[in-house]
């Protein structure tokens, strides 16, 4: 026999409550208006004069100087013409007392004269002028601010609790419930590890977690324990959230997904309550995975910049998260995945073993990984058949997965703007230029003198980098304004795991080539080298105070990778050392500047030819440089141009 299910209690709908209150108030307003649901006949002033002259009128009440209500004598009600106002109403009552008729007075003075003339004739009747105020309307108006405040409060409660329908009462009490979105076998999650190109190391570690949930005996039979949590750490756009989506598609177990900001609320205790509810749901559906994106919203180190006291709401939420993660049993089969761009700001208690047992670093893709990412994002595009994936990967060093997706989309838009039927190689190059440099501004007004200065500046960059062995290979040079820059020299830097001193010095020298060219050709310098100086100063400071690549200071660094030091208030070195650091930075930069000037003076004719070609074409490529400057003379570079400290 089937058991009868207990009927659910009907939910209280807030709109029914609103409707009942409004109906009641309107009903009271109607009663207060002295209508009383009686049969009141409509008449006009001429008929009223006939009734008055016939002696049928008993009483006249003029309300608010506008509406006249007429009550008839009992003898007059027996007349046939007045039977309709005597008949019973829907309550079963006869209208004997009145009022029986009503009409608009019109001109009050004229109406009053008619009444006075009737009195002079000896007709007996009473008349009265009265002003009636609807007290219930005044009550409603008095309570209107309270009604509005209550309505706004209920609306906010419904919005914060995420409910679009149902009763307000139930939604208010659900404010402490978790906002996590559940993905399970019934959810349409199509992302798998095949859709995640590159990230082979990260995929391997995450895939092991998924395999553990699918087949735990394989690991527990050897005495292994399920990891409590895994933290995905990496720069923005590297694919941390995409990797979590792939886990949701592959795991085939309940997957709870939410952001760290979902725990933050204006009410005290709501964040901790949502943490408790989230982990309760996950335990009830174990084996399960919880994914918290941007966990630094609640996982920041406690005690830093805490101006609100020890009972800070964010700290309470973090404490509850720490308690829940540490409270798992070894057989609970619930794993916490989290993602952040800033692992250095997370609380140490959150990062210890037993909570986040693994930290999975999601780095920027290398050359091979970029090629695979391009293959994924180019599938929906109509490209030419001869498109070289290796070439595209080489043109995008330092690009994240999100950047590559943006390049593909921009290339498709550029091709569509040119009315092409397929996306070609040049469209991708234009897309890279658009993303890195900004939009071309060919109509920007530049004087001939400014254009000449820009041309020699960019030619100086190109020439110096061409003659230096360790400078990045040049791709093209342009004097077309793009974004905030008036010109640019585009390089294709090598992907290095480590950088040597000579490599950094050559890059600094090439960056100073623009200002050196202005000095050599015009014996003047301009503000056009601002970005170059910023880059060079940053590199020199890193060499001296971070990497220990300076003989004067020796093998010492003032960099703190833990992020615990606050250099804005205290410096980890003395004033004497600070002066020495500033002096060494200045020496490094000046030495490379003089080196660039010497190179350009030696090759002044080639610099002039390169600048004239640039003024003529506005954009020149590597082939043009080879024709003017010759092949890169790495092996025959003059020794007197090299830095002795290399």
Helix (H) or strand (E) holding 289: strand 288-293
Position 137 scores a pLDDT of 63
8-state DSSP, 305 = S
Position 569 scores a pLDDT of 52
- Single pTM value for the model: 0.62
The pLDDT tens digits of the residues spanning 199-246 come to: 777 888 888 878 887 777 887 788 777 777 888 888 888 888 888 888
- Residue 433's Cβ-side half-sphere holds a number of Cα atoms within 13 Å equal to 23
Mean pLDDT of 633-644: 41
pLDDT band with cut points at 50, 70 and 90 for residue 171: very low
Position 450 scores a pLDDT of 83
Of 232, 278, 271, 222, nearest in space to 255 by CA: 278
Dihedral sign, Cα of residue 517, residue 519, residue 524, residue 529: positive
Going from the C-alpha of 485 to that of each of 440, 505, 548, 598, the distances in angstroms are 10, 24, 33, 26
- Count of CB atoms within 10 A of residue 180's CB? 20
Of 531, 534, 644, 638, nearest in space to 589 by CA: 534
8-state DSSP, 261 = G
Under a CB-based contact definition with an 8 Å cutoff, are residues 373 and 197 in contact?
yes
Mean pLDDT of 283-302: 83
Task: Identify which of 47-56, 386-395, 501-510, 634-643 has the greatest average pLDDT.
Answer: 501-510
Nearest 5°: CA angle at 631, between 504 and 507? 10
8-state DSSP, 1 = -
Mean of the per-residue pLDDT values of the chain: 77
Pairing of β 67-72 and β 57-63: antiparallel
Helix (H) or strand (E) holding 151: helix 135-160
Tell me if residue 414 falls in helix, strand or coil.
helix
Tell me if residue 187 falls in helix, strand or coil.
coil
Which residues partner with 182 through β-bridges?
A: 256
pLDDT band with cut points at 50, 70 and 90 for residue 69: confident
The pLDDT tens digits of the residues spanning 446-498 come to: 788 888 888 889 888 888 888 888 888 777 788 877 767 777 777 777 777 78
The pLDDT tens digits of the residues spanning 373-432 come to: 888 888 888 888 888 888 888 888 888 888 888 999 999 999 998 888 888 888 888 888
| Catalytic residue set | 458
């Amino acid at each position: 026999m089937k058991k009868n299910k207990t009927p659910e209690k009907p939910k209280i709908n807030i709109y029914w409550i609103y409707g009942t209150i409004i109906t009641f108030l309107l009903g009271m307003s109607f009663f207060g208006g002295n209508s009383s649901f009686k049969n009141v006949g409509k008449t006009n002033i001429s008929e009223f004069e006939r009734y008055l002259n016939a002696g049928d009128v008993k009483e006249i009440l003029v309300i608010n100087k506008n509406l006249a209500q007429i009550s008839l004598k009992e003898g007059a009600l027996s007349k046939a013409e007045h039977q309709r106002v005597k008949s019973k109403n829907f309550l079963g009552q006869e209208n004997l007392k009145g009022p029986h008729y009503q009409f608009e007075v019109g001109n009050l003075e004229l109406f009053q004269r008619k009444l006075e003339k009737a009195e002079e004739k000896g007709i007996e009747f009473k008349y009265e002028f009265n002003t009636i105020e609807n007290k219930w309307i005044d009550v409603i108006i008095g309570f209107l601010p309270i009604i509005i405040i209550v309505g706004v409060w209920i609306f906010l409660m419904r919005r914060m609790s995420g409910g679009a329908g149902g009763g307000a009462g139930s939604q208010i009490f659900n404010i402490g419930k978790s906002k996590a979105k559940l993905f399970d076998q019934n959810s349409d999650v199509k992302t798998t590890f095949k859709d995640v190109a590159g990230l082979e190391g990260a995929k391997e570690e995450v895939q092991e977690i998924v395999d553990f949930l699918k087949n735990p005996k394989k690991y527990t039979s050897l005495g292994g324990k399920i990891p409590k949590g895994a933290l995905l750490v990496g720069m923005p756009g590297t694919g941390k959230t995409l990797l979590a989506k792939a886990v949701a598609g592959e795991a085939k177990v309940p997957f709870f997904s939410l952001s760290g900001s979902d725990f933050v609320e204006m009410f005290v205790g709501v964040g901790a309550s949502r943490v408790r509810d989230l982990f309760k749901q996950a335990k009830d559906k174990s084996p399960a995975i919880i994914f918290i994106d941007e966990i630094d919203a609640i996982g920041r180190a406690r005690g830093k910049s805490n101006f609100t006291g020890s009972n800070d709401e964010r700290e309470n939420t973090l404490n509850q998260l720490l308690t829940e993660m540490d409270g798992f049993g070894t057989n609970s089969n619930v794993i916490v995945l989290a993602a952040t761009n800033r692992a250095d700001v997370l609380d140490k208690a959150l990062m210890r073993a037993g909570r986040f047992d693994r930290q999975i670093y999601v780095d920027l893709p290398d050359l091979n990984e970029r090629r695979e990412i391009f293959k994924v994002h180019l599938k929906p595009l109509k490209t030419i058949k001869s498109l070289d994936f290796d070439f595209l990967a080489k043109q995008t060093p330092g690009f994240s997965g999100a950047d590559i997706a943006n390049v593909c989309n921009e290339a498709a838009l550029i091709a569509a703007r040119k009315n092409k039927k397929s996306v070609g190689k040049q469209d991708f190059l234009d897309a890279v230029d658009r993303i890195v440099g900004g939009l071309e501004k060919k109509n920007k007004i530049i004087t001939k003198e400014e254009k000449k200065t820009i041309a020699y500046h960019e030619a100086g960059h190109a020439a110096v980098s061409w003659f230096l062995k360790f400078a990045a290979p040049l791709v093209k040079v342009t004097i077309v304004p793009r974004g905030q820059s008036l010109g640019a020299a585009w390089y294709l830097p090598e992907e290095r795991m480590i950088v040597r001193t000579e490599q950094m010095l050559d890059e600094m020298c090439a960056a100073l080539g623009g200002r050196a060219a202005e000095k050599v050709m015009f014996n003047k310098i301009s503000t056009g080298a601002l970005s170059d100086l910023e880059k060079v100063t940053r590199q020199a400071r890193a060499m001296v105070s971070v990497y220990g690549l300076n003989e004067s200071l020796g093998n010492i660094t003032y960099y703190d990778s833990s992020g615990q030091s606050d250099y804005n208030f205290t410096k980890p070195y003395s004033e004497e050392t600070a002066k020495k650091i500033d002096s060494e930075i200045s020496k490094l930069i000046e030495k490379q500047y003089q080196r660039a000037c010497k190179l350009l003076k030696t090759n002044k004719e080639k610099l002039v030819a390169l600048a004239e070609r640039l003024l003529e074409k506005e954009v020149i490529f590597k082939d043009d440089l080879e024709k003017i400057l010759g092949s890169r003379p790495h092996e025959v570079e003059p020794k007197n141009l090299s830095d002795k400290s290399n």
